[in-house]
């Protein structure tokens, strides 16, 4: 006959596991929900600025060749999201959940401002098609990262090294204007952010499982925001690199 204490222990463990599963599902839903709102805000700001000549002229001017090019405010808007990411990481522990959420949404709006130029460079239809393709690819990659039993942590170092490499190469190409370098960076960018999407999804899941027993709701909320930021950046960068291949230029 089964021992009562054994049965009780097994039952308690099963209930605890069920609570963790339910908590993980709620946590990931919050992560994806925050990310989706951020993407929507980015899209709205980018479209509003990129398709309104009066607003666009604040950040872009007509160059000697007749093509639109960034002015000083345009370059500030371009690099503002990068500065905000580093600031967010430094400030997250001092912010409340509401403050961190507001910062994330302000960042998403700033990102929309920084990529508004795509509506000048590419046709609206190709932007929409690329966005849908990115959404489909992101969903598959994130799902694979969530469900796989394989430990992806070993990929992290190589992906971050590759990320630093493409950032440096992109900055250099601002001055070189090399089509070959731009093409190589785009290929590497797609591969790196495809890998980061799966890696970050698994990392967010594992981080929750490690901290689920703490009961720290403030930390859980901020963790969801940071997770949303990571996946948001993966999506945006994957979209921008795919746009170099799929976008039809004006």
Contact 166, 185 (CB under 8 A): yes
- pTM score: 0.88
Q: Are 235 and 39 within 8 A, CB to CB?
A: yes
**187 versus 68: which is more confidently predicted?**
187
Contact status, residue 51 vs residue 119, Cβ threshold 8 Å: yes
DSSP letters, 59-98, are HEEE-TTS-EEE-HHHHHHHHHHHHHHHHHHHHTTTS-HH
Q: Tell me the pLDDT tens digit for each residue of 25-60.
A: 999 999 999 999 999 999 999 999 999 999 999 998
Quick one: 132 exposed, middle or buried, by C-beta within 10 A (0-12, 13-18, 19+)? Answer: exposed
Tens-digit pLDDT profile for residues 1-22: 445 454 444 445 445 556 668 8
Q: Where are the domains positioned within the chain?
A: 4-246
| Residues ≥6 apart with Cβ < 8 Å to 111 | 42, 45, 81, 236
Q: Would you state the pLDDT for residue 70?
A: 87
- With 0-12 / 13-18 / 19 or more C-beta atoms within 10 angstroms meaning exposed / middle / buried, residue 30 is middle
pLDDT digits (tens, 9 = 90+) for 135-188: 999 999 999 999 999 999 889 889 999 999 999 998 898 888 898 999 999 999
Taking alpha carbons only, the member of 229, 191, 248, 199 closest to residue 35 is 229
Query: What local confidence, expressed as pLDDT, does residue 21 receive?
Result: 80
**pLDDT > 70 fraction of the chain, expressed in percent and rounded:** 90
Lowest mean per-residue pLDDT among 7-16, 193-202, 231-240:
7-16
What average pLDDT does the segment 84-103 reach?
92
User: Residue 116 has what DSSP assignment?
Assistant: T
Question: Does the pLDDT of residue 93 top 90, yes or no?
Answer: no
Our measurement of the distance from residue 45's CA atom to the centroid of its chain's CA atoms, rounded to an integer in Å, reads 16
């Amino acid at each position: 006959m089964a021992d009562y204490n054994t049965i009780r222990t097994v039952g308690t463990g099963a209930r605890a596991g069920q609570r963790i599963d339910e908590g993980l599902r709620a946590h990931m839903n919050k992560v994806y929900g925050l990310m989706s709102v951020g993407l929507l805000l980015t899209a709205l700001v980018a479209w509003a600025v990129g398709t309104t000549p009066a607003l666009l002229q604040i950040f872009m001017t007509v160059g000697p060749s007749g093509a639109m090019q960034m002015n000083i405010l345009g370059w500030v808007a371009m690099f503002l999201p990068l500065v905000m990411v580093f600031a967010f990481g430094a400030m997250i522990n001092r912010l409340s959940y509401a403050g961190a959420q507001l910062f994330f949404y302000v960042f998403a709006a700033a990102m929309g401002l920084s990529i508004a130029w795509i509506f000048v460079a590419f046709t609206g239809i190709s932007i929409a098609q690329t966005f849908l393709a990115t959404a489909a690819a992101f969903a598959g990659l994130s799902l694979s990262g969530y469900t796989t039993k394989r430990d992806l942590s070993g990929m992290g170092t190589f992906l971050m090294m590759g990320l630093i490499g493409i950032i440096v190469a992109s900055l250099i190409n601002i001055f070189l204007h090399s089509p070959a370098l731009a093409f190589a960076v785009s290929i590497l960018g797609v591969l790196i952010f495809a890998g980061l999407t799966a890696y970050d999804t698994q990392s967010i899941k594992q981080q929750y499982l490690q901290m689920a027993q703490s009961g720290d709701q403030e930390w859980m909320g901020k963790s969801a925001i940071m997770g949303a930021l990571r996946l948001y950046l993966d999506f945006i960068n994957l979209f921008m690199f795919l746009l170099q291949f799929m976008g039809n230029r004006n």
